[in-house]
């Protein structure tokens, strides 16, 4: 999987990809993360990439020319997807993450300031993705969320691909509780069913715990899960 990130702050992306699971996957050539700075493509002698909005208003708008030229400089493979990180986009879900993991390349556009000149959307025609109903300073943090989430679905990134299969939301439910050593801590013991080695009983326990947690914490997901089961 190859990620190409158009950003005015490549250090943010490069820095976060230099640790933990992402770094190991990059070192093994399972993933590659490349940054492209639109500032390198501006024709403005002062290296400007933004300007005041037509019609007035607060903030600065990212200019079309540097972003479109930067985007067109990226070599794209046949199985490629372009994503714009934007609070206007469709909410990122595990279902979308699984869909994105089927691509060989994802090109991401990170905004800043007041947002993109609309002609960037009209020319590039990206798929817009949001990580929530709130506004951040720039698109770099959402881009990193997307990189991390998609990378977990790529075989070889995690120790076992089952690790991603058992994450919260992978089956429409919140994940079951986890325990490790010691068996008892401050009077709280590990449930006996997890110690008996009966895999069928363990699986059933974990399913029931997932259902219980989902019902309590995310009743919307619980309702969707039950509707899906009823329609099968």
At 45-97, the pLDDT tens digits run 999 999 999 999 888 999 999 999 999 999 999 999 999 999 999 999 999 99
pTM: 0.86
Tally of CB atoms within 10 A around 119: 13
What are the structure tokens assigned to 58, written together?
């607060």
Q: Which domain holds residue 98?
A: 2-151
Active-site choice (87, 166, 175, 177): 87
Active-site choice (94, 148, 167, 209): 167
- How buried is 142 (Cβ within 10 angstroms: 0-12 exposed, 13-18 middle, 19+ buried)? buried
pLDDT value of residue 58: 86
Question: Is 87 in the active site?
Answer: yes
Examine the fold and report which residue of 117, 151, 185 is the final residue of a domain before the chain moves on. Answer: 151
HSE, side-chain direction, 13 A CA sphere, residue 62 = 26
Active-site choice (14, 94, 114, 209): 114
Q: Which of the 8 DSSP states describes residue 74?
A: S
> Are 13 and 115 part of one and the same domain?
yes
> Are 55 and 91 part of one and the same domain?
yes
| CATH number of the domain encompassing residue 80 | 3.40.1280.10
Question: Is 114 in the active site?
Answer: yes
For residue 213, tell me if it sits in a domain. Answer: yes
> Are 12 and 104 part of one and the same domain?
yes
> Are 134 and 68 part of one and the same domain?
yes
pLDDT > 90 fraction of the chain, expressed in percent and rounded: 88
Active-site choice (4, 38, 142, 152): 152
For residue 199, tell me if it sits in a domain. Answer: yes
pLDDT value of residue 114: 84
Helix axes of 140-151 and 20-27: crossing angle, nearest 10 degrees: 70
> Are 75 and 189 part of one and the same domain?
no
Cα 183 versus chain centre, distance:
35
What residues in the chain have per-residue pLDDT under 50?
none
> Are 18 and 129 part of one and the same domain?
yes
pLDDT value of residue 82: 98
What are the structure tokens assigned to 92, written together?
């990122």
Question: Is 51 in the active site?
Answer: no
| CATH number of the domain encompassing residue 220 | 1.10.1270.20
Rounded distance, CA 18 to CA 221, Å? 34
Question: Is 162 in the active site?
Answer: no
């Amino acid at each position: 999987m190859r990620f190409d990130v158009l950003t005015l702050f490549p250090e943010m992306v490069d820095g976060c990809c230099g640790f933990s699971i992402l770094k190991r996957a990059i070192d093994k050539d399972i993933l590659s993360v490349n940054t492209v700075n639109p500032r390198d493509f501006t024709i403005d002698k002062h290296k400007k990439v933004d300007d005041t909005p037509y019609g007035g208003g607060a903030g600065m708008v990212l200019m079309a020319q540097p972003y479109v030229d930067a985007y067109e400089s990226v070599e794209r493979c046949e199985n490629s997807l372009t994503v714009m990180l934007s609070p206007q986009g469709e909410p990122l879900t595990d279902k979308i993450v699984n869909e994105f993991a089927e691509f060989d390349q994802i090109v991401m556009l990170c905004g800043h300031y007041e947002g993109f000149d609309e002609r960037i959307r009209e020319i590039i025609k990206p798929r817009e993705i949001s990580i929530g109903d709130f506004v951040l300073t720039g698109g770099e943090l959402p881009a990193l969320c997307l990189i991390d989430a998609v990378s977990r679905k790529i075989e070889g990134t995690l120790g076992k691909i089952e690790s991603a299969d058992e994450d919260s939301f992978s089956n429409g439910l919140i994940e079951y509780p986890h325990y490790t050593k010691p068996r008892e801590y401050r009077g709280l013991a590990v449930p006996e069913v997890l110690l008996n080695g009966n895999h069928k009983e363990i699986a059933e326990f974990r399913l029931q715990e997932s259902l219980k947690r989902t019902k309590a914490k995310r009743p919307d997901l619980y309702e969707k899960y039950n509707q899906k089961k009823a329609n099968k």
